[in-house]
């Protein structure tokens, strides 16, 4: 196989929303980088049954609510 045709596959540290960390192999960033998650299986409503807290990053949720307020 051609060496230049494949991305570098290395270890990175994934930081969950509750602060726990684990190491996995990925093509993200460089060796030893940290991937900090905003939403994961511990906070996303799809996995928590809808009781998870919605994070408003950059006002997206607020803009959506303002756009569709009074729709129904």
Confidence bin at 55 (pLDDT 50/70/90): low
pLDDT at 52: 52
pLDDT at 57: 67
In tens, the pLDDT along 8-36 reads 889 999 999 889 999 999 999 899 999 99
Provide CB contacts within 8 A for 65, sequence distance 6+.
none
């Amino acid at each position: 196989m051609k060496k230049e045709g494949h991305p570098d596959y290395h270890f990175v540290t994934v930081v969950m929303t509750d602060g726990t960390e684990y190491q996995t192999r990925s093509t993200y960033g460089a060796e030893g980088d940290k991937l900090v998650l905003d939403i994961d299986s511990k906070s996303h409503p799809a996995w928590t049954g809808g009781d998870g807290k919605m994070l408003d990053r950059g006002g997206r949720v607020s803009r959506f609510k303002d756009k569709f307020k009074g729709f129904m």
